[in-house]
Structure 1
Amino acid sequence: MANSPYSKLPPQAFWRQGVVQRHENAIHELYTPKFPIRKSDRFVTAGSCFAQHIGRSLKEEGFNVVDEEPFPQRGLKAIPVETRRALGFDLYSARYGNIYTSRQLLQLDKEAHGDLELTDPIWEKDATYFDSQRPNIDIAGFELAETVRENRKHHLDCVRQAFSKADIFVFTFGLTETWAHRASGEVYPVAPGVIAGTHDDETYTFKNLGYSDVLSDFLEFRERMMSRNPEVRFLVTVSPVPLTATMSGQHVEIATVRSKSILRAVCAELYDSFENVDYFPSYEMTTSQKNQGGAFASNLRTVKPSAVELVMNSFLKAHGYNSELTIEGGVSSPGLAEDHDMDSEDDLVCEEMLLDGFGSQ
């Protein structure tokens, strides 16, 4: 045994010591940062619904989170934060809403920098018009299609400004399943017909991105970002939230494992290949067998606030910030089992959640 290559490994290399015997609050041991971060670094955040937790936590701890598309006060009375978020403000570094897939992220960057003009930018419903790329932002829609175009032009200006300022670009991979425009290949954050627009098999098609798709999308996005800012660094994560519904033809639990496995494998490839890409294991911290399922509410999908607290505090602790961050709606407790339960989604703005309603029809 003394000559075994395993004899000099640290405790975290072994399941019994690294998992079974690990204290329930010691999940920070799962993460060793590749590069340091400072509160003065300019963070640009994007990704799936779970990414909203990361942006909020960084803001609460005083990190320099870029917001190039804030709520326009202009003398108005203070608007409740819940209202602002429902309108797409205060969620990310621009008002793009949730970016669930790598294809959606790359597409947005191309459009913002004039390298892509969308074929299908406007959806209609009940004589009102919606931005097809963020139909949940203005849920009531607009009376004129031209208003949608004007708002999107302003939004793309904000995206371009936000992306150009990133010292650290934070992206949470959420899904591989998406809907695409058949002729152009453009993708959407939600299927046509869920919020606005009309589903048509001749116009739209379901797309389930594979490993090579996701990897090539992010590699191209990374190259584009670095061409404008060679010093930018990337922090990637995988959302632990399961799929609400699947069009894959498989059981939703199998489809979830497929999707998350692909996304996690892509993150591993990026982490192994590039010094300026770090991976934060929020997925593993949340789904760990050590938690015995205690990180999720009774719907087995919503991540409990106390679990988010543990995850984000572990991130801050790993970077040398001894925080006792409290997530909205949660309680500061040492363990997951003591947290209150929830039967519905928390206060995240999440279009995918709307798919749950179709399961009861």
Structure 2
Amino acid sequence: MATPSHPYKTQPERAFWRASVGSRHYADLTNMWQPMPLVKTDRIATAGSCFAQHIGNNLAARGAAFMDMEPPPPVFSSASEARKWGYGVFSCRYGNVYTTRQLIQLFDEAYGTRTPLERVWEKDGRFYDALRASVDPVGQDSSKTVLALRARHLAAVRQMFAELDVFVFTLGLTEGWESIDDGTMFAAAPGTVAGTYDPKRHVFRNLRAAEIRADMLAFWDRLREVNPGARMLLTVSPVPLAATATENHVLVATTYSKSVLRAVAGELAEDVSDIHYFPSYEIISAHPSRAVFFEPDLRNVSQFGVDYVMRHFFSGPLAEEFGAGGLRKENDLELICDEEKLDQSTDTGAFTSHAPHTAHVGVAAPDS
């Protein structure tokens, strides 16, 4: 066989900009990823930023074995109402896991090797789980109840990690707030949902690429110890930051965060055989899309954009396994995003308007 005149001669069409992007309508792009091996019997769990909810919703709608380890109690009148309390959003009721530091700390806490010092926040006489404050819009009547509910939650998380086949994790943020005492990173800054911000106890952290990579590799090692056959699918959320705690303009801060997360996700997918990457970030945010997939606020992704991403996800062998059509319409499913609280009022009314009747859902102790 003759040696090609230069190394690009043997590259496929998708490797060339003019052929695969420049001369095509954006709606006609193909081969955006090489789908990971996935079948309907694979038990799939999801976690991460808000955008991860789309993948879980669409996998479930297409018949995948989506894991829901904490289903809603019958007090709710609809799935949409239950979602406001953290049910049916991800595979467990942990709310948004925006950072890699949250993820590995959640794993360690679930398996009993770590206990955060700051686990309960208070607001207006009600008590909240500091690690997932937004999943309970009205809070509980005591710290004891909060801790009992967290123990039940962690048992579900532990079971999820032990039994899953595929873990889908959407990296969302590099920025976070953590406890000075023990480094616990919270999903929301103290004081935004509940609790009180104290600069003597809380510090801002903008994770570096090396830290994120170390977090993910440590999490991967831990996951494979308890579940040797586990695989992982990484995505990066295309949703810009709602706000930044750095001195940078929010657009600059967003570019930093997404660039770092994308770089680490790409390295992990290249270096580890059972870690895969799906380019939802590029599909939505790359300049050839001309921002057509964003809502007028240029932050939230439209249903049209979600459908387009899912069309690429369910391509090739995944289209054969799950079907090429039947995209789940999510207009009636509000995304649950802790980060939105940074751009909203934090008065009590903002978090009690969705309470189902007067019941405080999930207040029963674990043995009830």
Same fold (TM over 0.5): yes
Instruction: Out of 105-114 and 23-32, give the one that drifted further.
Output: 23-32
Question: Residue 12 of structure 1 is aligned with which of 11, 14, 38?
Answer: 14
1:27/1:189 Cα in 2 relative to 1: closer, same or farther (>3 Å)? Answer: farther
> In the alignment, is residue 66 of structure 1 matched against residue 67 of structure 2?
yes
Distance 1:357 1:330 in 2: 21
Q: CA deviation at 1:22?
A: 2.9
Q: Which runs of 5+ in 2 are unaligned?
A: 346-368
Question: Residue 92 of structure 2 is aligned with which of 91, 94, 101?
Answer: 94
Match of 1:157 in 2: 155
Q: CA deviation at 1:118?
A: 1.1
> In the alignment, is residue 353 of structure 1 matched against residue 349 of structure 2?
no
Letter in 2 for 1:351: D
Match of 1:109 in 2: 107
Question: Residue 276 of structure 1 is aligned with which of 274, 277, 298?
Answer: 274
Whether the 8 Å CA contact 2:20–2:29 is kept in 1: the answer is no
Aligned partner of residue 26 in structure 2, secondary structure: coil
Distance 1:118 1:21 in 2: 54
1:128/1:330 Cα in 2 relative to 1: closer, same or farther (>3 Å)? Answer: closer
> In the alignment, is residue 131 of structure 1 matched against residue 129 of structure 2?
yes
**Structure possessing the higher relative contact order (Cα contacts under 8 Å, 6 or more residues apart):** 2
Match of 2:26 in 1: 24
Match of 2:361 in 1: none
Q: CA deviation at 1:28?
A: 4.2
Report matched runs for 1:43-54 at 5 Å. Answer: 43-54=44-55
Match of 1:246 in 2: 244
Whether the 8 Å CA contact 2:161–2:227 is kept in 1: the answer is no
Report matched runs for 1:78-89 at 5 Å. Answer: 79-89=77-87
Q: CA deviation at 1:139?
A: 1.2
1:51/1:28 Cα in 2 relative to 1: closer, same or farther (>3 Å)? Answer: farther
Q: CA deviation at 1:230?
A: 1.2
Q: CA deviation at 1:166?
A: 1.0
1:11-33 residue CA offsets vs partner (Å, 9 max, x unmatched): 21111111122343344411112
Distance 1:203 1:347 in 2: 33
Match of 1:227 in 2: 225
Letter in 1 for 2:224: M
Residues matched between the structures, number? 340
Aligned partner of residue 29 in structure 1, secondary structure: coil
Instruction: Out of 284-293 and 154-163, give the one that drifted further.
Output: 284-293
Match of 1:304 in 2: 302
Question: Residue 197 of structure 2 is aligned with which of 193, 199, 204?
Answer: 199
Q: What TM-score, normalized by structure 2, do the two folds share?
A: 0.89
Distance 2:46 2:317 in 1: 18
Match of 1:338 in 2: none
Q: Which runs of 5+ in 1 are unaligned?
A: 332-345
Match of 1:55 in 2: 56
Aligned partner of residue 315 in structure 2, secondary structure: helix
Distance 1:31 1:172 in 2: 16
Distance 2:270 2:318 in 1: 24
Report matched runs for 1:28-43 at 5 Å. Answer: 28-33=30-35, 35-43=36-44
Distance 1:36 1:280 in 2: 12
Aligned partner of residue 352 in structure 1, secondary structure: helix
CA RMSD of aligned residues (A): 1.7
Whether the 8 Å CA contact 2:45–2:91 is kept in 1: the answer is yes
Q: CA deviation at 1:288?
A: 2.2
Whether the 8 Å CA contact 1:305–1:327 is kept in 2: the answer is no
Report matched runs for 1:179-198 at 5 Å. Answer: 179-198=177-196
Whether the 8 Å CA contact 1:28–1:318 is kept in 2: the answer is no
Aligned partner of residue 99 in structure 1, secondary structure: coil
Match of 1:334 in 2: none
Letter in 2 for 1:20: G
Q: CA deviation at 1:221?
A: 0.4
Letter in 2 for 1:37: L
Whether the 8 Å CA contact 1:46–1:172 is kept in 2: the answer is yes
Distance 1:26 1:222 in 2: 36
Distance 1:304 1:114 in 2: 40
1:9-67 residue CA offsets vs partner (Å, 9 max, x unmatched): 2221111111122343344411112x310011000110001001111010011100111
Match of 1:3 in 2: 5
Match of 1:122 in 2: 120
Match of 1:342 in 2: none
Q: CA deviation at 1:6?
A: 2.0
Distance 2:190 2:329 in 1: 32
Distance 2:79 2:105 in 1: 29
Distance 2:29 2:58 in 1: 17
